[in-house]
Structure 1
């Protein structure tokens, strides 16, 4: 699908590997005890180049022909 570059994939891998129970539990208050939200916040805060608000990775990297 090529939604991320190999470098971005390596960065995501490192962030996910570092998402330990203790790290995620530290964000319990701001994530309302939601494990998926805590994981998302952990990864987002650790990215070297965060995504632009209002865009998705798929939309930013996939070229589609303009509608006719």
Structure 2
């Protein structure tokens, strides 16, 4: 857990800021409940991975996000 803001709060700030709102966001989280994932997606996350994560899954996810960004 982060000391001052939750990841979800940071995500919401990123999405509200015009200079960063267009950036792809991959959330890396310890929260694995279905509602947590839905909250992140509803708040603007492009994807999320639950810790501990498989390194190949991270690589594949980043690759997919970059493909979407280029397209």
Per the TM superposition, whether the score is higher than 0.5 is no
Q: TM-score range by the shorter chain?
A: under 0.3
More strand by share: 2
